[in-house]
Structure 1
Amino acid sequence: MNDADIDDQPGYVKRQITRHRSGESRDATDDVGQEWPVALVYNGISHAVMMCTPRDLEAFAVGFSLTEGIVERGSDIQDIEVFFRSAESDSELPYAEVHLQVVQQAFVALKDKRRAMAGRTGCGVCGIESIELLDLQPERVPDTGFLKRLAGDAIAHAARELPAHQRLSKLTGGLHAAAWCDERGAVKFAFEDVGRHNALDKLIGHLVLQRIDTTQGFVFLSSRASYELVRKSARVGVPMLVTISAPTSLAISIAEKAGLRLASFARENGFVEYGKVV
């Protein structure tokens, strides 16, 4: 299959199950979130294989490329093609490949990074081989005045709206959502994936593809706030990150360094703000 078949992947599959409740068993079918290997190939060289829900893969690849620092701007990506590969036997997995053509400067930097990663043992953090290579110095989020325009009930509004945009989560109970909200808290776009990082990359990629200013809104995530999510948001200038669950200590530290407002335990009746914007 090729990129013309993207919409053929619904994001979930039906599976035969047996429900056991109150001492009784019943056969039924259930909707289960899809999880596929997705290879990201830059100028013909495979760089990473991510496990994600095989939808919105063009947006995912653009977002990943930006938030992982492979390219500096969306215009550094010259072409994208998405390919789906069907499993040819029961012992094989279906998978997808996203082929990106990036500008030469970005490709040379990527090859240098790959050489630095060569020979590592274990998976490490973000594919690095030593603590010294861990990048914990985020970009400063520019002050565009968005937070001053933010409505006092914006987070409550977003928390109230988000469930209506979680179609796959309602079906499967197992997908995360990343939503883009305006200054009133209205959800403008939302993307779902089995991985919270992937959902955020899909959202950011979509914003970039649609030429939407990433400094003029906030991200709402149906997950905890880990440092990678804060780091990704800061890289593209998102002024505020809101999550349903708790943040980690490193997420708070990165948010403070970036000047990014971090709010967690977000509900319709309140939230907890961590750190301060300096």
Structure 2
Amino acid sequence: MTAPTSRRRVVEWVGGVPRAHEDRLIAEEPLEIRIAAPGSPDRRLGVTMRTPGNDFDLAAGLVLAEGVIGGRDDLAGIAYCTDATLTDEQRFNVVTVALARPAARGWKERSLRATSACGVCGTDSLDEVEDLVQRLPERGEETPSWSPADLAALPDALRRDQRHFARTGGAHAAGLFASDGATVVVREDVGRHNAVDKVNGHVLLEGIATAGLALCTSGRIGFEIVQKAVVAGVGAVVGVGAPTTLAARLCDRTGTTLAGFARDGRVVVYADRAGEVGR
């Protein structure tokens, strides 16, 4: 399997003076995800560009976000493909998700227009997202309270676990945190959407309850980031950047807390329907 980072010789110019040295780059490789459902031939869900590592988490989080599965019980297993036609390098770039029952929802085979900068979810509208949300287990009545200071501190907690970013400067990160600031899981990837899928896939496979957790991301908060959080049952989304209008609307419609510009003791709360912040 390709390592998540690799060394490369570079020439750095500062003030017109060159300096040759070794630098590190974040790895970017394609991952093809296939679906194996009972009684059906294997089908390709799509291909996404990702940083190798935690590939099963990524696949699980993506099929959850796509609505292919409704929960952990729909999964029979995840494994690297063993097709004889694949080269050794390709073998770790193809993952098969085996379903325990027919797919919870139909999907179109797609290339996912997969660059590391783009979202890969196939949901086309707020109504489709709400259809996915309706099939999730009910969230508990008790919701945690988040102090503004706690929300503002989450990016720093995320940064402490960004090992690949520290080495390359080229990795996004996402993490889930409890209301007391405890870290549940942090994942890094060249794609910010992939980082979220890896986080959501991890808690799905481990059976970790998410309703009382906050998802913190290292970039702006777009619609698909919030969508993935909502489908995973996460109660709050926090980012170091700004949210979009569609992301805020989705939080309004699903009762998800949304906070942006969380840094240096400052946080802007855009949605707090449950009255969790500062309670």
| TM value normalised by structure 1 | 0.82
Aligned with 1:253: secondary structure? helix
1: distance between equivalents of 2:87 and 2:18?
34
Question: Who is 2:16 aligned against?
Answer: 23
Instruction: Pick the aligned partner of 2:234 from 217, 238, 257.
Output: 238
Is residue 161 of structure 1 aligned with residue 157 of structure 2? Answer: yes
Deviation, 1:271, is 0.5
Question: Who is 1:37 aligned against?
Answer: 30
- The verdict on how the C-alpha distance between 1:154 and 1:207 changes in structure 2, with shifts beyond 3 A counting, is same
Give a deviation string over 1:27-52, Cα, whole Å, max 9, x none. 21111000100000111221110000
Is residue 205 of structure 1 aligned with residue 201 of structure 2? Answer: yes
- The verdict on how the C-alpha distance between 1:126 and 1:63 changes in structure 2, with shifts beyond 3 A counting, is closer
Is residue 134 of structure 1 aligned with residue 132 of structure 2? Answer: no
Deviation, 1:187, is 2.0
Give a deviation string over 1:81-104, Cα, whole Å, max 9, x none. 12597687xxxx896011111134
Aligned with 2:102: secondary structure? helix
Contact preservation (8 Å) 1:200, 1:229: yes
Question: Who is 2:243 aligned against?
Answer: 247
Is residue 99 of structure 1 aligned with residue 96 of structure 2? Answer: yes
2: distance between equivalents of 1:127 and 1:9?
25
2: distance between equivalents of 1:237 and 1:255?
12
Question: Who is 1:191 aligned against?
Answer: 187
Aligned with 1:174: secondary structure? coil
2: distance between equivalents of 1:26 and 1:169?
22
Instruction: Pick the aligned partner of 1:56 from 54, 58, 63.
Output: 54
Structure 1 moving runs of 4+ over 4 Å: 83-88, 123-128
Question: Who is 1:146 aligned against?
Answer: 143
- The verdict on how the C-alpha distance between 1:64 and 1:125 changes in structure 2, with shifts beyond 3 A counting, is closer
Gap regions ≥5 residues in structure 1: 1-7
Contact preservation (8 Å) 1:151, 1:185: no
- The verdict on how the C-alpha distance between 1:13 and 1:86 changes in structure 2, with shifts beyond 3 A counting, is farther
2: distance between equivalents of 1:184 and 1:214?
14
2: distance between equivalents of 1:187 and 1:268?
19
Contact preservation (8 Å) 1:180, 1:218: yes
Deviation, 1:67, is 1.4
Contact preservation (8 Å) 2:149, 2:265: no
Deviation, 1:135, is 2.5
Contact preservation (8 Å) 1:214, 1:238: yes
1:254 is aligned with what amino acid? L
2:55 is aligned with what amino acid? L
Contact preservation (8 Å) 2:259, 2:268: yes
**Equivalent pairs, count:** 256
2:25 is aligned with what amino acid? V
Once superposed, what is the RMSD of the aligned Cα atoms? 2.9
2: distance between equivalents of 1:260 and 1:272?
14
Deviation, 1:105, is 2.0
Give a deviation string over 1:171-215, Cα, whole Å, max 9, x none. 110111111101112223100001111000000111111111011
Contact preservation (8 Å) 1:157, 1:186: no
- The verdict on how the C-alpha distance between 1:15 and 1:187 changes in structure 2, with shifts beyond 3 A counting, is same
Gap regions ≥5 residues in structure 2: 37-41, 275-279
| Structure ranking higher in helix proportion | 1
Instruction: Pick the aligned partner of 1:258 from 254, 259, 269.
Output: 254
Aligned with 2:139: secondary structure? coil
Question: Who is 2:65 aligned against?
Answer: 67
Instruction: Pick the aligned partner of 2:215 from 216, 219, 237.
Output: 219
Question: Who is 1:3 aligned against?
Answer: none
| TM value normalised by structure 2 | 0.82
Contact preservation (8 Å) 2:149, 2:266: no
